[in-house]
Structures are given as structure tokens and as C-alpha cells.
Structure 1
Amino acid sequence: TYLADTGHVPYGSKSEAFIQGRVLAIGDHLVERGCGLIVVACNTATAAAITALRQRHPGIPVVGVEPGVKPAAASSQSRRIAVLATEITARSERLQRLIADHAQGVAVQVEPCPGWATRVEMLDLDGEEFAAGFATEVAAKIRPLLATGADRIVLGCTHYSFLKPLLAPLVAGKAELVDVADAVARQVVRLAGASAAGDARLVLLTTARPERLQAALPVLGLGWLGARCTQSAGLSPV
């Protein structure tokens, strides 16, 4: 089951209390549907609410998504890395603990990127205005980071994975992009174990009109999923 809180995202500029309320409500809903493992597939939601979700459902494995500070720091040759993040993630204690635990001796610049997740949500990833105007904004954010000598750029928001076509040419030959998506997927497979074997049925749920998420799938390269979205009762926008 994939549940997109499309009616309330992006979370990056919302209050922590609001985000925690949404995560707990969605978590409760997924447990009621019989889910035996939950992935909080959002850096901001992980920072604001994963502890509360684990406390609410102690018998359910909960996997979060956190910026790849550890692999970035471990692989950096210049001992300088940068983290691109939403406003909530950028100022979160969870990110500061990650840096303190895994980036000792490494200079870490945390760069809030307000509005970036919203641009991805707009689904205009190939439009002329996106390619021109937003690309200029992205370049203005990235070039100063490269000028400091940062050789690892951490994508600290799951939305930013869809900005790789803009980011990759900017950092080519100077830095590497660090995305934890594959590592999270491996962790889910490890925790699911044998229970993940056999036939599976994909269910796509959304808290907004299903047409919005349905339209997003091919734009984000996920049209191959072939599933139909439905609205999740009881979790519609407030």
C-alpha cells in the first residue's frame, strides 16, 4: 500500500505539530489496513514524527528516510559536504545528531531549499519555465557550495531525486550527488524478509483527488506501475 498525503504536501514549511498529526493519522490508517511494516518515505516527516510513530505502534517496524550524511562524510575526499534540505529538516535536531554522529572532522553546510519540493509537486519537470527559471535558481544554490570545495551533495528530501537531471550537470566532475533511496529499499527488503515473497498487489491511495496522483505517475517516470489511485476515506484534506 502506498499512501500519498497529496492533500497536505509539501511538508517542508508546515509546523512540526501538523506534520506529526498527519504522520500518526496515516500510520494508524495503514495499521488498520493490515500493514506490517511502514516506510516514512519523507525526510521532513521522519525528522518531525518518526519517534512518535514508533511509540504509537511499537510492534510495527518503521523505516525512516534521513539525509545520507554518513555515506557522504565517509566518502568525501575534500572533507567538505553539503546537505540540501527542506526548512524543517534543515533545522531539525535529528539532522544535527546525524552530523554529530557521522561527520566528525568533516565540514557540513546545511542548505535549506524552500520551494523546491513544491516545484516537483507542480509536475512541470519538463516545461520551458521550469528548465529556464528554476534551473537558474538551482544553479545559484549549488555553485557557491561547490566553490567551498564540497565534493558530496546530499539530497535531503525525497522530492530532490527528481531534480537530478538539473543537478547532475551542475556538479559533474566536481562533486557527487548522494541519494539514500536505494539504501532504504534494501533495508525494507531486509526487514520484510520472507513475508515479501510471492504475489503482491499494489494499492495506491491519496488524500486528494486521485486524478492528481494518477497524473503524477508518468511525469515522475512511474507510469509502468499500471495501478489506479483511489482516495483514502477518512484522511482527506482538513
Structure 2
Amino acid sequence: MNIKTDPIGFFDSGVGGLSVMREAVSIMPNENFIYFGDSKNAPYGTKKVSEVRDLTIDAVEFLLSKNVKAVVIACNTATSAAIEEIRSKYKQMSIIGIEPALKPAVKLNRKGQIIIMATPMTLREKKFKLLMDKYKNEADIVSLPCAGLVEFIEQGIVEGEDLEYYLKEKFKSYLDNDISSIVLGCTHYPFIKKALSNVIGEEIPLIDGGLGTAQELKRKLIESGLLNDSKEKGNIEICNSINDDKVIDFCYSLINFKI
């Protein structure tokens, strides 16, 4: 049986989910966290759905072996591919996923197009199409597949000329038009906000679902009576499928990285 001091498990295809976990740490600093990044198999966004589903189930089972009290699939691609099956398989466990934060972007009601950056798989999946259909009559929404962008971040490249060149090429068809906002539909992308603003302009809002997901996690823990009421600061443990100290050190640095 889960107890309040058990850790919360976070999972992503690599380092991206740390952008979500750091939000959870900021609003629940007394919780214990364990993070598993599958950098060995990153990126997920260009793989087959069945492969992503199998990798996600393996990751969740790893976290369950660590006696977690809740699991956050902090990966848009894995959420799209596997969350329904995982919730069905582990009915007694709180399983929280993430989806592109389109609702707050629409609510801004700014002039121009809302551009959703995401991996090719996220944009192909039924879950995303349903999200688009929900808001298609309320805003001009454009999806922008960003194959190759996750690899920059996995390699520790979160700023610089090469990254900005990639982004300029991606956005060259949109920069002459009004952009309402950019929805960061992959948990890796918040780490490149600075580079992105350099390309599209600092006045354009960049929206991600990290804080909303962390707040949903907290609500679920309160609802299930599992919120840690300790006054002591919690622990953070990071695991990665690439068993390399440099990768682990990079992960810890991202927790404190200024976005």
C-alpha cells in the first residue's frame, strides 16, 4: 500500500520531462521524486506507436518497482501512444499524462496563428487530432512537426547558432505572419525558450503544460490522501537508460536551469 512518503515517479523519453518535474518540485518541495529518462532510446517521436507503447510500459514498471505512489508520464509522445493502456493496466495507481497546452493559448485571444511545436508522432496521434478538433473553431491553429529538435536538447545543446538556424528554418514560413503564441508540445522544448525567443521575438508567448501537469498531480495526491505532509525537503533521484555519470549530471543541471 502506498504511503505519503513514497516517491513520485516521473518518466520521459530522455531529459525533457525534467521541465515538468521541476514544476512539481517547486510546488511540492517536500515530496520525494524519482525520474527515469530513456535517453538510450530517444527520440520517441519518430518511432512506431507499438514501440513507444512497449518502452513506456517498461519504464512505468521500472518506476513501480521503486514503490512510487503516482506516475507522471512527462512525455507528450508517450502519453499519446500509451496512457490509455497503462491506466487500464494499473487501475489502482494515479497515472498522469501531458498534452499540448492548447487551451491556455486559445484563452490568450491574441491576434494571429497559434503554432503547436511537437514531435511527428504526437501530431499524428488520435489524441492530438481530438484536441485540435475541440478548438478549431476558436482559433487559427497550425501544427509544426519538429523532427530532430529533441536530439539537440539530448546532446546538451539548448542555445547557440546551430540550434537557432534549425529554428529559423522551421519558422521561416511563419515569421512574416502574425503569431498569437507558440505551444511547446514536447517536454524537451521549454529548455530552448531563450533560443526560440531570439528567433521569433520575445513578445510572443511560449506556452507549455508543465505547471498545469504538476498542479493536476498535486490535486490527485490530495484527492487520494497521499500528499506528503512532512516539513522536510524531499529527495530527488535520477535514473537514465544510459548509465553514464555525465548524463546524470546533465539531468541534475537541468533541474536548476534558468528557463
Say whether the fold is shared (TM-score over 0.5).
Answer: yes
Q: Which amino acid aligns with 2:206?
A: L
1:171-217 CA-partner distances (Å, limit 9, x unpaired): 33652111111111111122122523214332222212141432313
Larger RCO (CA within 8 A; separation ≥ 6): 2
After TM superposition, give the deviation of residue 218 of structure 1 in Å: 5.3
**Counterparts of 1:139 and 1:176 in 2: how far apart (Å)?**
17
**Counterparts of 1:98 and 1:204 in 2: how far apart (Å)?**
32
**Counterparts of 1:201 and 1:94 in 2: how far apart (Å)?**
34
**Counterparts of 2:206 and 2:236 in 1: how far apart (Å)?**
30
Partner in structure 1 of residue 41 of structure 2: 8
After TM superposition, give the deviation of residue 104 of structure 1 in Å: 2.4
Would you tell me which structure has more helix in proportion to its own residues? 1
Asked if residue 59 in structure 1 is aligned to residue 125 in structure 2, the reply is no
1:197-212 matches, cutoff 5 A: 197-198=229-230, 199=232, 200-212=234-246
Partner in structure 2 of residue 119 of structure 1: 152
Larger mean CA deviation between 97-106 and 86-95 belongs to 97-106
Asked if residue 189 in structure 1 is aligned to residue 233 in structure 2, the reply is no
After TM superposition, give the deviation of residue 57 of structure 1 in Å: 0.5
Larger mean CA deviation between 176-185 and 210-219 belongs to 210-219
Contact residue 54 and residue 62 of structure 1 kept, 8 A: yes
Residue aligned with 2:131, SS? helix
Q: Flag structure 2 segments of 5+ consecutive residues without an equivalent.
A: 1-33
Aligned match of 1:77 in 110, 115, 136?
A: 110
After TM superposition, give the deviation of residue 221 of structure 1 in Å: 5.0
1:11-30 matches, cutoff 5 A: 11-30=44-63
Q: Flag structure 1 segments of 5+ consecutive residues without an equivalent.
A: 224-238
Contact residue 155 and residue 179 of structure 1 kept, 8 A: yes
Partner in structure 2 of residue 142 of structure 1: 171
Give the aligned CA root-mean-square deviation in angstroms.
2.1
Residue aligned with 1:144, SS? coil
Contact residue 47 and residue 89 of structure 1 kept, 8 A: yes
Asked if residue 101 in structure 1 is aligned to residue 134 in structure 2, the reply is yes
Aligned match of 1:213 in 220, 230, 247?
A: 247
Given the two structures, how large is their TM-score scaled by the length of structure 1? 0.84
Matched residue count: 220
Q: Which amino acid aligns with 1:203?
A: E
1:106-125 CA-partner distances (Å, limit 9, x unpaired): 12110001100011000133
Given the two structures, how large is their TM-score scaled by the length of structure 2? 0.78
Structure 1 runs of 4+ off > 4 angstroms? Answer: none
Sequence identity (%): 24
